[in-house]
Chain A
Amino acid sequence: MRFKYNIFFVIVFLLPICLGILGVTFPKAIDEVRIFSTQITLPIFKTQATVIRWFRDQGQHLLEWAHLSQENDQLKRKVQELENELNSVSMLKKENERLTALLDLKSRNTGPSIPALVVGRDPSNWSNFIVIDKGKKDKIYVNTVLVHPEGLVGKVISAGKNSARAILLTDSQSRVSALDERTRDVGLVEGEGSAMLKMTFLDYNSQIQVGDLIVSAGLGGVYPKGIPIGRVTMVSEEKNRLMLYAYVKPFVSFSKLEEVLCVNK
């Protein structure tokens, strides 16, 4: 009996070690298994997310009901203002097109964007990823970029037929080339597994300041250029005193993400 228990004990300990070795040897196979598990659970979590969103929307409509007529008047005024602005913007647009053509600059080439619902989140305390309800069937592939009206979210790391797993900017394995919009200093924005991002490899003579806007630099070939990431909250020098680093507060509230836009380059 005792011998049997010891054998069982050894098996229980050896099994995860074998799985770990399997994961190192065949990372693709593990990815496939993970995406398969996501596919299985997708219908449940997609239905759940849709129902929750419907109830939340209904609740919001009820709360907004009282302010609708007041809001309508405000919006009418706003439309009038915007129409006036539009006229001047169209003039500027034409001028911009003319100048761009003169400089022979290529416009940013991004494909059509596909909206997706966030149906799952990482249960672990160490990695940050989400599951979306769109997959290869909807032309979502590995490295498809996820954006939100507020800014950059992350990129797809594995895609199944109807779902995909995407790494968030805050994950400790996430890297994005970024630049300071004011000073044009380039650095690397890294996730730290917390709510803040760290911008490293900044030139020691960089004029980066607290409050500066950080956008994607488009140097890595995955993320398009110019997508807002966040604002600088702290600047300091590295231990080696050769470079600076900065902490960036992302615009996107990753823990409250419900919908994202998927963009293929």
Chain B
Amino acid sequence: MPSPLLKERFVWFFVFLIWLELSFLPLISVEWLKPDLFAIFLTFYAFQIDRKHLLILALILGLAKDLLSNAFFGLETICYISGTVFLQIISDQFDRDKRWIQIVSVFLFTFFTLTMFSSLMLLVQPRYGITFSGFIKICFVAIYTMAVSFVGFPVLQKWVSPVFRQKQYELF
């Protein structure tokens, strides 16, 4: 069970993250390609901090994105949660401390969530299903998010990691 202090930090960090997504994203978006800052954070959290609360984080961030976007309600949340399960599988299989594995995971996570979103859109609104140009867009967004994570991970490592890490005591 996280401590009250940690819970408070979580709340403030979420507020900050959502503010960043809404304010900072338009500044770094190239035409209509926007990097997925939530994907970078979730990957970082899965690899560097703790995997226990990852699903809850994905749920909250997905709901926030659903509220703030105009797409079919609930789709972003489903994609983030499924993507997080995929992320947990990757982080179980590979060395979590290697930076290149983390960065490739950002690409895979973004690619997975975006492809899933397009596929689900095909079920919900067949007219807006996945097309070739849509697939190219997914690839570019995933690459762009990966490129941003090159800068994002060291920043998160320095500023965010100490905020979430709970004190660990040596047993011996």
Instruction: Give the complex CA separation of A123 and B128 in angstroms.
Output: 18
Q: Are A123 and B21 in contact (CB under 8 A)?
A: yes
Report B115-146 residues with CB < 8 Å from chain A CB.
117-118, 121, 124, 128, 133-134, 137, 141
Interface centre among B32, B34, B73, B118 (most CB of A within 10 A): B73
Q: Are A125 and B32 in contact (CB under 8 A)?
A: yes
CB nearest to B114 among chain A residues: A125
Q: Are B70 and A48 in contact (CB under 8 A)?
A: no
Instruction: Give the complex CA separation of A157 and B21 in angstroms.
Output: 22
Q: Smallest CB–CB gap between A51 and chain B, Å?
A: 11
Q: Smallest CB–CB gap between A250 and chain B, Å?
A: 12
Tell me the interface secondary structure of chain B in the complex: helix
- In the complex, number of A-B residue pairs with CB atoms less than 8 Å apart: 112
CB nearest to B58 among chain A residues: A12
Q: Please judge, given known A-B contacts A44-B19, A172-B128, whether A12 and B59 are in contact too, CB under 8 Å.
A: yes
Q: Are A19 and B22 in contact (CB under 8 A)?
A: no
Report A170-228 residues with CB < 8 Å from chain B CB.
170-173, 192-195
Q: Does B162 contact A (CB under 8 A)?
A: no
Residues of B near A3 (CB, < 8 A) are none
Q: Please judge, given known A-B contacts A12-B55, A193-B32, A195-B31, whether A123 and B70 are in contact too, CB under 8 Å.
A: no
Instruction: Give the complex CA separation of A13 and B83 in angstroms.
Output: 12
- Please tell me which one of the listed residues A30, A48, A124 contacts residue B65 in the complex, with CB atoms under 8 A apart: A124
Q: Are B29 and A122 in contact (CB under 8 A)?
A: no
Residues of A near B59 (CB, < 8 A) are 12, 15-16
Q: Please judge, given known A-B contacts A12-B55, A195-B32, whether A19 and B72 are in contact too, CB under 8 Å.
A: no
Q: Are B81 and A13 in contact (CB under 8 A)?
A: yes
Q: Please judge, given known A-B contacts A124-B70, A195-B31, A255-B31, whether A20 and B78 are in contact too, CB under 8 Å.
A: yes
Q: Smallest CB–CB gap between A38 and chain B, Å?
A: 8
Instruction: Give the complex CA separation of A13 and B85 in angstroms.
Output: 11
Report A105-124 residues with CB < 8 Å from chain B CB.
120-124
Q: Does A55 contact B (CB under 8 A)?
A: no
CB nearest to A170 among chain B residues: B32
Q: Smallest CB–CB gap between A119 and chain B, Å?
A: 9
Q: Are A192 and B133 in contact (CB under 8 A)?
A: yes
- Please tell me which one of the listed residues B33, B67, B128 contacts residue A37 in the complex, with CB atoms under 8 A apart: B67
CB nearest to B67 among chain A residues: A37
Interface centre among B36, B62, B77 (most CB of A within 10 A): B77
CB nearest to A121 among chain B residues: B26
Q: Please judge, given known A-B contacts A255-B26, A255-B29, whether A19 and B69 are in contact too, CB under 8 Å.
A: no
Interface stretch (choices A65-73, A92-100, A126-134, A142-150): A126-134
Residues of B near A171 (CB, < 8 A) are 70
A-B contact pairs, 19 of them (CB 8 A): A12-B81, A16-B62, A22-B73, A33-B67, A34-B70, A37-B67, A48-B23, A120-B22, A121-B25, A122-B69, A122-B70, A124-B65, A125-B36, A165-B70, A192-B133, A193-B137, A194-B31, A194-B32, A255-B32
